Amino acid sequence: MVDAELTTRAFWLIAPGQGELRSERLTPPGPGEVLIRTLYTAISRGTESRVFRGEVPPSQYQAMRAPFQQGEFPAPVKYGYCSVGIVEAGPEPWRGQIGFCLYPHQDRYVVPATAITLVPAAVPPGRAVLAANLETALNVLWDATPRLGDRITVIGAGVVGCLIAWLAGKLPGCRVQLLDVDAGKAAIATRLGVDFAAPEQAQDGQDVLIHASGSPAGLALALSLAGFEATVIEASWFGTQPVSLPLGADFHAQRLCIRSSQVGQIATAQRSRWNYQRRMATVMDLLNDPALDALISGESRFADLPTVMAELSRDAPGVLCHRISYGNSG
């Protein structure tokens, strides 16, 4: 039995750089819907930090909408897409199951059952918050189309960059180097089974380069390390930040190509046979690896989220995936 009147608390960006928790009413789930009690969410630092700072360009307001976003950019807006919870009410097969949903930071919510991907029993709920970032990493690697034995460079050891490097490292014969200006990320690279290097130590002549640092300097570095006719995959999202590139150096002589990758569309090479459900189901299988726990760099209470989001939207060295706990594990 579900209460006729349900209440919830949700995190809202009320103005650029300022967030708060708001109480809301929920409509009980109808046919084909589920009520989720949130266990964990995670902050996707690259995108959510830009949203929090009000750096979504007006031309991208529609393209950047999250699946269950409320409000409009720049604010007030309820934004986020890394939520794991337990099904409290809904169709019988779903009740008591742990599910992942592309939902904002909120302690209870109602969505169609089709919006939930069940988390396998072997995957801890606290690790499952990585699903959205791993979905992005998988799509980026599809766009990069690496071949066996390739030399692969990933620039930027944030969560998405680390996950891309981890996936690439599973390809037979491939040599993967993960680059970052933070030497402390070397330990993470070791846990993920790939090489680490500072930018000035990187090997050049690379076959596949993936930029995920969010810095224009990182994209320029990718071009400098590319081998003849290599393609650089741009996985960062710069928002309103302008980007200047050294296209007068070897860019033309090396016949280089820069191509974007974005998770909102399934990579071209897979699109005729894959859908979003199949992609997310694959992500859930891939999450069954304890090495990925190294990407959870911290945890805070949901009650502290307004302060935490403000802190993480600024420069926060060493932070990877910051998890939010809702105290609902019992």
133-260 belongs to which homologous superfamily? NAD(P)-binding Rossmann-like Domain (3.40.50.720)
Domain ranges of the chain: 6-127+287-325, 133-260
Global model pTM greater than 0.85: yes
Handedness of CA 101, 103, 106, 109 (dihedral sign): negative
| Terminal-to-terminal C-alpha distance of the chain | 19
**What pLDDT, on the 0 to 100 scale, is given for residue 328?**
63
pLDDT digits 0-9 by tens, 77-136:
999 999 999 999 999 889 999 999 999 999 999 999 999 999 999 999 999 999 999 999
Please check whether residue 206 is in contact with residue 178, taking contact to mean a CB–CB distance below 8 angstroms: no
Q: What share of the chain is helix, strand, coil (3-state, %, to 5)?
A: 30, 30, 40
The residue to which tokens 């930090």 are assigned: 49
6-127+287-325 belongs to which homologous superfamily? Medium-chain alcohol dehydrogenases, catalytic domain (3.90.180.10)
Q: Please provide the average confidence, as pLDDT, over all residues in the chain.
A: 94
pLDDT digits 0-9 by tens, 274-301:
999 999 999 999 999 999 999 999 999 9
Which residues lie across from 152 on neighbouring strands? 176, 208
- For 32, the 3-state DSSP assignment is coil
